[in-house]
Structure 1
């Protein structure tokens, strides 16, 4: 089964996304969003991040490999009167990363393709923001088991060292594991102006 078919099958029976389902790093840091500009929800899945970005007044593109997810996102955007602010595109983020200096905001949630990471920093316009959240190796349990899809400790800090750090969280197995998001690394970086 192709990757496209796999993800289309996964999203075919999913419910429509809501703004409340946007990733934690974006929800916690909406105060950093610009008042206007172009935003990208990369490998968007059902696109809850795209809905939140559009709700905040940004011109949003949502890219994903799965047509079924993009159809549901389009329907949700229409229901929320956000369709004019949001466009979808069936695009493989692994083979077609965003072009340099093309976005003011990029959000990536639960997607990791290491060869594409440098292109994300380059795709930011001056002062642009990258919101990134995905699973890490120091997680107590849950998430993917394949190490190719798990961040190393401090990996995003190293890969995006050209960006000014605005927010970072990586709890892992430290302290009382009943509190906080222990499974994922959260990062916000800003391109130099």
Structure 2
């Protein structure tokens, strides 16, 4: 990505995050699986946006680093963490596609609504043994128009399972277009997996 593309991407996400009035909330995969969190450790919220996941992890006692390309998102996250007295959370402006997480460094990594397939091996490598990955993003077999329209930014059927096949599965949900489409969690795949 060249400098102009990076700047345009930052501006796009800065505008989107600046226009949000509500407090950030965690991804459903995290809310459903809070009971799997380690009692302590270092967590990464990758492409964190306004940081609903990071705030939740910090409230549960983990030390959290949150990365996003948007300075506006990180400024708002750091302000929210300071307001809540969460000294165990640090937000950093970082282009995750240009700077991979360090090897064998995190006890938990969470990614929601961000998909860069080429980064998946780096995420697995960044987990310590026994570390967990929480992942939630859009699928191609969508029920609604929510999310990106470009199919390259959506997962194929069971693709998330394949992307993290080297890890031990702890939780998976992908309802697709099965059954009553007015109920359930649609449009996304959710996974929690553990590094052996």
Query: Where on the TM-score scale, by shorter chain, does this alignment land: which range?
Result: over 0.9
* Equivalent residue number for residue 82 of structure 2: 78
Please state how far the C-alpha of 1:16 moved relative to its aligned partner.
5.7
| Cα separation, 2, equivalents of 1:28 and 1:80 | 23
Q: Deviations over 1:54-82 (max 9, x none)?
A: 00000000000000001111111112111
| Cα separation, 1, equivalents of 2:37 and 2:174 | 22
* Equivalent residue number for residue 131 of structure 1: 134
* Equivalent residue number for residue 92 of structure 2: 89
Does structure 2 retain, via aligned residues, the 8 Å contact 1:133–1:185? yes
Q: Deviations over 1:118-168 (max 9, x none)?
A: 111111000000000000011112221101110011111111111000000
Deviates more, 1:135-144 or 1:25-34: 135-144
TM-score computed with the length of structure 1 as normaliser: 0.95
SS of the residue corresponding to residue 44 of structure 2 reads strand
TM-score computed with the length of structure 2 as normaliser: 0.93
Please state how far the C-alpha of 1:92 moved relative to its aligned partner.
0.7
Does structure 2 retain, via aligned residues, the 8 Å contact 1:23–1:133? yes
| Cα separation, 1, equivalents of 2:137 and 2:168 | 19
Alignment of 1:62 onto 2:66: yes
* Equivalent residue number for residue 10 of structure 2: 4
Structure 2 gaps, min length 5 = 1-6
Count residues with an aligned counterpart: 189
SS of the residue corresponding to residue 172 of structure 2 reads strand
Structure 1 vs Structure 2 CA RMSD? 1.1
